[in-house]
A = this chain, B = another copy of it.
């Protein structure tokens, strides 16, 4: 891929280096494949740069354990053992977040999503991670489980040098507005259209 050239140089008083190093807020949206996979690919690259990675999966089922989690957690252990790459934390909503696992009981997805966002917000304030992946976070935003204006304001005004990538369909226009890089994945052709179900190793 050729190195791109900026179309315009903004009058923002920043040097090219300062602008280049501005931490990005990224969104992967659309109805196609690859939104989460590309976000995890970013996390893999970031690990290789020694970044501190935090993944927060806002999915309902804890059973859905995907290969990326295994691999990123393995890379995290590799960091702990050998110093290679960066540290990795992977949290998912499922049956309660790992920092507040409750035994049994009814699941309240809305409350869990709000709790997950509250934790992300604390970590953003503390500058815990260099890259935060908020996987499928557009859904709690859409369903009113978190306050969209709070999310947008918090992400837009996060301190320090924290990269954030949000994935999921139907990203809120307010989120798109404050984001630096927004990619839409569109399905041109999908095997489910031809009667094929998800495949192990490809879909999860």
Instruction: Please give the residue numbers on chain A whose beta carbons come within 8 Å of chain B beta carbons, in ascending order.
Output: 1, 3-10, 12, 16, 19-22, 24, 27-30, 32-38, 40-42, 44-49, 51, 59, 64, 66-68, 70-71, 74-75, 78, 84-85, 136, 163, 176, 179-202, 204
Contact = CB atoms under 8 A, between A and B. Distances in A.
Nearest to A46: B201
A39 to B, nearest CB: 8
B40 A192 contact: no
Chain copies in the assembled complex: 2
A189 B182 contact: yes
Contacts of A28: 34
A189 B64 CA distance: 31
Contacts of A176: 188-189
B196 A19 contact: yes
Contacts of A32: 183-185
